[in-house]
Amino acid sequence: MDNQLTKPEILIQRIALIVVAIVLAILVGVLAVRIVKHSDPYVKEVLSLVGDWKQGNAIFQINCAGCHGWQANGRVGPSLHGVSKHKSPYGLIHQVVSGETPPMPKFQPSAQEMADLLSYLEKL
Ligand code: HEC
């Protein structure tokens, strides 16, 4: 009789403990990703600069318009209008410098060029 009374309590305690552990693990994970993202010196530098969208437009015409169209409304690559609504500044920088989504190549703009490009992309 005693056993039957204590067992469900222990079970609930265990479940609660597991839930707490999972939530903690997720929090630590999210925090770690944030720290890694924001400690990237290149990203940090880009985000500390003020971008000039007109300069960014010029950089875009030379490097990106072939695929994304001169008004960024899409050709081989997708339209980039409203892209900053679903990609964070970090996501946009990463998209340009990583080369993780072929056929889009990996670019290596200077921090100022990237800041200009970013301000152009955020205006679309
Ligand atoms: C060789 C063609 C090509 C060139 C050049 C190119 N891109 Fe792309 N880009 C793509 C393709 C294809 C995708 C879609 C990749 C995917 O998501 O699989 C893409 C995706 C993107 C995305 C993400 C779009 C989204 O909706 O999430 C951004 C932002 C972007 N490109 C910006 C740029 C910028 C800025 C440049 C110039 C520095 C550039 N691209 C040059 C082909 C290209």
pLDDT in tens, 30-77: 998 888 777 789 999 999 999 999 999 999 999 999 999 999 999 999
pLDDT of residue 57: 97
Instruction: Please determine, for residue 101, whether its predicted confidence score (pLDDT) is greater than 90.
Output: yes
pLDDT band, residue 120 (cuts 50/70/90): very high
What does each C-alpha distance from 65 to 69, 70, 104 come to in angstroms? Answer: 4, 5, 12
- In terms of Cα–Cα distance, which of 88, 64, 59, 89 is closest to 74? 64
pLDDT at 6 exceeding the cut of 80? no
Predicted local confidence at residue 5, as pLDDT: 59
For atom 25 of ligand 1, the residue with the nearest CA is 83
Q: Is the CB of 83 under 6 A from ligand 1?
A: yes
User: How remote is the CA of residue 123 from the centroid of ligand 1, in Å?
Assistant: 16
Triad 59, 65, 68: Cα angle to 5° = 130
Cα 75 versus chain centre, distance = 23
Q: Determine the distance separating the centroid of ligand 1 and the alpha carbon of 77, expressed in angstroms.
A: 5
pLDDT on residue 34: 81
